[in-house]
Chains A and B, each alone.
Chain A
Amino acid sequence: MAGTYTEIIEIVAPDKAVAGQVVNIEVKIKNKYTSPIGVMVGGALEYGVSPWPGITFPANWANVSGGATQPFSGYFTMPSAKVKIHAYSYYYGVDGLWHWDDEKTKEVALTELVPVFTEFKITDYRAV
């Protein structure tokens, strides 16, 4: 369900990741208003027991033109369990405060590492 002024259009993330892998994601938030507003993103990883770890967004807010969609890049380290990315959007109100507006989730499954060998070659040989 979209918010009053913002709507999380999409969470771009892989369907699965390996434990310990840095997972890059993108949260696309639309300004539903007709004029530019400040839009902020937040996120948490739902797994295990609350409080859940956060998702890092190096640039977590922007002034977004009316009707435009702003992508926010973020990342997290995959734990040893499947996770649910929980993204939140906020708008900057006339009261000078950020207001939580919309939320969206996406699951990332845990995948196991498989041994892969490539580019085997003899680099040198000599009498010792």
Chain B
Amino acid sequence: MTIKTLKVSLNPLVLAAGWYQEPATGQWYYYDENGKRYVYVAGYLYAMMLWEPAPKVVNVKHGDTLRILVSFKYSGPAKTGKLYGAVGQKYPLNVFDEILKATSPSFTIPESTTPTVRTAQVDIPITTAIAAGKSYSIYAKLIDGISFKEDETGSKALEDAVFVVSAEPTFSEFKITDYKVP
């Protein structure tokens, strides 16, 4: 195994495939041939994501469905694919912990000789696997024989894009606002 010393910040540099170790912390990272980064923790490799603040917060409740819509440009032969979407949390080292996930039905991306905009969507059922009163992040990617690369075949993780509201009646801030002789 060839070891390379990590000298600069990981994000957003693209490095050659291989293992890297951050000298300050001793943390190991792995870059694959597509530039995808992984962090090595306790014998496992966890995929690291690029993150950005979500443009909006969508309130959902248990029993709802979250629909994620995407667009991308494609040129090449006709190809089948599926859209995968996930709702989860941000872990240290930019790892996306997927809690809810779903895959769209297979669809065909038509052949085109020039980059052409295509769209797709995936529906994710909101279940009690995620807690009410908390915010969660989302991301989506193309799968089914399509490797993941942020901004090309998948999105960055949108932090705190979804807030799970409680379905139970909630009362708060009760107070006497006035009292007088009518």
Contact = CB atoms under 8 A, between A and B. Distances in A.
A74 B152 CA distance: 35
B113 A113 contact: yes
Nearest to A78: B113
Contacts of B73: 117-119
Contacts of A123: 69-71, 119
22 contacts: A112-B77, A113-B75, A113-B113, A115-B146, A116-B74, A116-B115, A117-B72, A117-B149, A117-B152, A119-B71, A119-B72, A119-B73, A119-B152, A122-B138, A125-B58, A125-B161, A127-B58, A127-B60, A127-B64, A128-B64, A128-B65, A128-B123
Given A127-B64, A128-B67, A120 B161 contact: no
Interface of A: 18, 20-21, 112-128
B39 interface: no
Given A18-B113, A113-B75, A127-B64, A120 B69 contact: no
A113 B73 CA distance: 15
B5 interface: no
Nearest to A20: B113
B53 interface: no
A117 B155 CA distance: 12
B138 A125 contact: yes
Interface in B133-178: 138-142, 146, 149-155, 158, 161-162
Contacts of B58: 125-127
Task: Identify whether the interface residues of B are mostly helix, strand, loop, or mixed.
Answer: strand
B159 to A, nearest CB: 12
A124 B59 CA distance: 14
B138 to A, nearest CB: 6
A121 B153 CA distance: 9
A124 B162 CA distance: 12
Nearest to B149: A117
A116 B153 CA distance: 9
Contacts of A121: 70-72, 151, 155
B132 interface: no
A120 B153 contact: yes
B47 interface: no
Contacts of A18: 113
Contacts of B140: 122
Contacts of A124: 68-69
A113 B75 CA distance: 8
